Structure formats: C-alpha cells, structure tokens
Amino acid sequence: MTFNRMGTVPLPLALHLASYTVLGLFCFFAGTLNLIDPVKIPHGILFLLVCGFSWGYVFGILMARKEVVMLGFVASIAWLVAALAGAARFGFDWRLTALLVALGTYGLVTLGIYRKRILEH
C-alpha cells in the first residue's frame, strides 16, 4: 500500500487502523484476564477471537488485501448493528453505544474514501 513516494498512510486511515489496534489490545487484556476464572473461559475465548480479528484486519489492510477491505465494510456494519441492537435489547450505556456507532461510522467513511488507494499497488 503506497500512498505517495514516502510510503506513508494517510492520517484518517491511520486513525482507523489505530482504533482497531487499540480494540485488539483491550480484547487481548480482557481475554487473558477472563481465562483465569474457569467460569469465564468462554468469554475469554470470545475476547481473544475479537483480538485476533482486529489485529488480522489491520495487518490485512496494510498488506492491501482486497478481501480484507470488504471485511472491513462488513465489520463496520456489524459494529453499527451491535450498537443499535445492544442499546435496544440490553440497555447499553450511551457511551458504549456512541463508541460503537463512532467505530462503525468512521470505518465506513474511511474505507469508502481510501478503498481505491488501499488496493492500488
């Protein structure tokens, strides 16, 4: 993925990738802590799966894989659905709902703008 002669990633796309990296770090930390308690092992495995997805997504975008770009659109829509369904069904706190909506919306907008530039080599 070369965006100019210097090979840098544009700031909006870098912020999108950084958000998925931080999400992966949080899920890694939460997953490993949940593995300590035998009752919470399934939760820990789910957190570790989200961690692996997040880091794999960032790596795939940086490697300019077209499949991963489409997966990013699906993931962004999934974050929006999770936010709205979670708020309606489980009564998510407004801050969590806003965070998930922001993650999904920013992902859709950023991938929409930079999709062509990511895929050209």
Enter the pTM of the model. Answer: 0.85
For the chain, the domain total comes to 1
Q: Is residue 2 part of a domain?
A: no
| Domain extent at residue 53 | 11-119
pLDDT value of residue 96: 84
Rounded to an integer, the average pLDDT of 65-89 is 91
What tens digit of pLDDT does each residue of 105-115 get? 999 999 999 99
In a domain, 5, yes or no: no
Provide the pLDDT confidence category of residue 119 given band limits of 50, 70 and 90.
confident
Specify whether the CB–CB gap between 51 and 105 falls below 8 A: no
Residue 1 has pLDDT above 80, yes or no: no
68 domain residue, yes or no? yes
**What percent of the chain clears pLDDT 90, i.e. is strictly above it?**
67
In a domain, 112, yes or no: yes
Q: And the tokens for 111?
A: 């991938």
Assigned domain for 6 exists: no
Q: Is residue 87 part of a domain?
A: yes
Task: Calculate mean pLDDT across residues 9-19.
Answer: 93
Residue 3 lies in a domain: no
Q: For residue 86, is it within any domain? A: yes
Per-residue pLDDT of 92-102, as tens digits, reads: 888 888 988 99
Tell me the pLDDT band of 6, cut-offs 50, 70 and 90. Answer: low
Residue type, 59: F
Asked if residues 107 and 57 have their Cβ atoms less than 8 Å apart, the reply is: no
